[in-house]
Amino acid sequence: MRISVINGPNLNRLGRREPDIYGAATLADIEKLVRDKAAGLGVEVEWMQSNHEGELIEAAHRAADENLPVVVNAGGLTHTSVALRDALAEVADGAGFIEVHLSNVHARDPFRHTSLLSDIARGVIVGLGPCGYVAAVEHFAHAANQKGLA
């Protein structure tokens, strides 16, 4: 099976950006971790990052067209983007998406406690760092196996 992993604004700055909150791993480190774990599960990963809302929306459209499950860390757009929510709603109606945040957004600024994505997500993983991405990929792989689709 294939899974789309979509990363939003500023996640390309991981490793340098607020390391006390986000840790030392770069996005490339996280990508490698996820690809390695996914390969062990027989899962192919389509990985993307963009700082541009429209590119994230188009990635969600591609996933919806191909009926791919999505793992998404939308960064700050999580809290603000109706347009990204609308694009992911199509994914939610199909293979589904899991919302991931490296940090525990609920233990941070009040404006991070609101997500425009969570209520239509299959699940939400916050605060587990890079392991959250891996857990999300594992969920989809196991769910597909249960249906005999993997």
Which of positions 4-33 make contact with ligand DQA (CB under 6 A)? 10
| Closest of 90, 14, 2, 96 to residue 51, by C-alpha | 14
Nearest residue to ligand DQA, by Cβ distance, number only: 75
Per the annotation, the verdict on 22 as an active-site residue is yes
Measured from the CB atom, the residue of 2 and 112 that comes closer to ligand DQA is 112
Residue 67 · residue 95 · CB < 8 Å:
yes
Site string for ligand DQA, 45-84 (x = CB under 6 A): ----------------------------x-xx-x------
User: Which of these is catalytic: 101, 106, 113, 133?
Assistant: 101
Residue located via tokens 């939610």: 92
Residue 81 · residue 103 · CB < 8 Å:
no
In the complex, least distance from residue 11 CB atom to ligand DQA, rounded to whole angstroms: 6
Residue located via tokens 């857990």: 135
Q: In what order do the strands lie in the sheet with 70-73?
A: 44-49, 2-7, 70-73, 97-101, 123-126
Measured from the CB atom, the residue of 116 and 144 that comes closer to ligand DQA is 116
Which residues form the catalytic set? 22, 101
Annotated binding site: 73, 79, 86, 102-103, 112
